[in-house]
Amino acid sequence: MAALSFRDARATILRELRSRVVAPRLEIVPLMDSQRRVLAEDVAADRDYPPFNRSARDGFALRAADLPGRLRVIGEVAAGNMFSGEVGAREAVEIMTGAPVPAGADSVVMVEHTVREEAHVVVERAIDAGANVVPRGSEASRGSVVLARGTRIDYACIALLATVGYQSVPVFAKPRVAILATGDEIVEDGVRPEPWQIRNSNAWSLAAQVQRAGGEPVVLPIARDVKEETLRLIRRGLAEADLLVLSGGVSAGKYDVVEPAFADLSARIFFERVAIQPGQPLVFGLAQDKFFFGLPGNPVSTMVTFEVFARAAVDVLSGAAEAPLPVSLAQLTQDFRHKPGLTRFLPAWLEEGRVTPVPWQGSGDVSALSRANAFLIADSEKPEYGKDTIISVLVK
């Protein structure tokens, strides 16, 4: 099976999940518990927003046709109050930001463009009708959808939900993601490793990534390099969760038993290699009506492949309408070269639109990745990038 480009692999994941996954069950949670959850119903405005013509500046509400000129000040209005009268010809009302524009006025002139003369205000410039006024209903009209079903709720969405009166929010249930680390070389937490062993970091980095993606991690015991034990834990993961993510055991080594175990389950494999580095050996498939990923075991490879591929699956299983890969552009601070043929996701430091590669020792170098806040994405067809060249980056 030929290696897919990372874009084709992501497209395959999204196509297969969207063709099979049904909407998760609905839950009602308090407003402050809804952050990072996925909205299960459309949210409509309960009234016009703003509910009145709102001043966008401190200044004077007046008729634009009266400017320039000297106008009589007939009152003032602050946010949270209404002016009971009406602005007539060559009249003005002092107004504060956020206050309702009085009847009769069609504009607000900023205070810094005025001169106050006791009971009058002098404005020596003309303005257009509607200047510095946010019209009623211009942000949202009553009954219009302000947040769509499938939206991943962030702090701005929290503000909007509070604005339209939501104290509790309908969201989709979090998908359960079973995490299975494999390998004889791995020891459980609390066990002192022998010189030839390593601690189980992959399960915990994956659990953290699952939580950040909006899922509920279920960490399974380590699967040793014995097919029967691996198969038993795979069956358990498929039964207990909506998605199974394994790390290790997906290469072509003598003791890699993950794929033989899935063969016993008559699993359907959509792809088993992706043309990226780190992370070429990557399995995506379906077994017992559940999707699974077999990620490579080196820690940086595990983390990269989850972010680029498995996170999209968590989005779909969460009920999210979109599964974006947060790629942006940045300017390199130094020359950069790599061997063509693979798309590379390499540790980097991104700051104020400029990105610097972080020196690393390969896909086992977690220390280097901990000093990075992004991955620079080196195009498979472009081996050289000069200083100040624009390059794609994936925020960590």
* pLDDT at residue 139 greater than cutoff 90: yes
Report the CATH number that the domain containing residue 99 is assigned in CATH: 2.170.190.11
Q: Does some domain include residue 355? A: yes
Check whether residue 287 and residue 376 sit in a common domain. Answer: no
Collapsed DSSP state (helix, strand, coil) of residue 300 = helix
pLDDT at 368: 95
Q: How many domains does the chain have?
A: 4
The more confidently predicted of residues 37 and 255 is 37
pLDDT digits (tens, 9 = 90+) for 72-123: 999 999 999 999 999 999 999 999 999 999 999 999 999 999 999 999 999 9
- List % helix, strand, coil for the chain (3-state, nearest 5): 25, 35, 45
Element at 141 (helix H, strand E): none
Report the CATH number that the domain containing residue 165 is assigned in CATH: 3.90.105.10
Element at 307 (helix H, strand E): none
Report the CATH number that the domain containing residue 222 is assigned in CATH: 3.40.980.10
pLDDT at 284: 96
* pLDDT at residue 344 greater than cutoff 60: yes
Check whether residue 40 and residue 157 sit in a common domain. Answer: yes
* pLDDT at residue 155 greater than cutoff 60: yes
What mean pLDDT comes out for the span 58-85?
97
Check whether residue 305 and residue 228 sit in a common domain. Answer: yes
Burial (CB count within 10 angstroms: exposed 0-12, middle 13-18, buried 19+), residue 333: middle
pLDDT at 251: 62
What mean pLDDT comes out for the span 337-353?
96
The more confidently predicted of residues 147 and 223 is 147
Q: Does some domain include residue 223? A: yes
Contact between 272 and 205 (Cβ < 8 Å): no
Q: Does some domain include residue 13? A: yes
Q: Does some domain include residue 142? A: no
Report the CATH number that the domain containing residue 360 is assigned in CATH: 2.40.340.10
Check whether residue 290 and residue 241 sit in a common domain. Answer: yes
Among 162, 187, 291, 276, smallest CA distance to 234 is for 291
pLDDT interval class at 2 (50, 70, 90)? confident
pLDDT digits (tens, 9 = 90+) for 279-335: 999 999 999 999 999 999 999 999 999 999 999 999 999 999 999 999 999 999 999
State the Cα–Cα distance between residues 94 and 96, nearest whole angstrom.
7
Check whether residue 270 and residue 391 sit in a common domain. Answer: no
Q: Which of 251, 285, 317 is the last residue of a domain?
A: 317
Q: Does some domain include residue 322? A: no
Check whether residue 199 and residue 112 sit in a common domain. Answer: no
Check whether residue 108 and residue 42 sit in a common domain. Answer: no
Check whether residue 41 and residue 63 sit in a common domain. Answer: no
State the Cα–Cα distance between residues 28 and 40, nearest whole angstrom.
9
pLDDT interval class at 256 (50, 70, 90)? confident
State the Cα–Cα distance between residues 63 and 141, nearest whole angstrom.
25
Q: Which of 286, 317, 348 is the last residue of a domain?
A: 317
Q: Which of 317, 347, 363 is the last residue of a domain?
A: 317
Q: Does some domain include residue 141? A: no
Q: Does some domain include residue 286? A: yes
Q: Does some domain include residue 117? A: yes
pLDDT digits (tens, 9 = 90+) for 17-30: 999 998 899 999 99
pLDDT digits (tens, 9 = 90+) for 306-321: 999 999 999 999 999 9
pLDDT at 184: 82
Check whether residue 206 and residue 109 sit in a common domain. Answer: no
pLDDT at 319: 97
Check whether residue 265 and residue 351 sit in a common domain. Answer: no
- Residues of the chain with pLDDT > 90, as a percent, come to 89
Check whether residue 182 and residue 272 sit in a common domain. Answer: yes
Check whether residue 76 and residue 155 sit in a common domain. Answer: no
Query: What's the mean per-residue pLDDT of the chain?
Result: 94
* pLDDT at residue 254 greater than cutoff 50: no
Domain that holds residue 371: 327-395
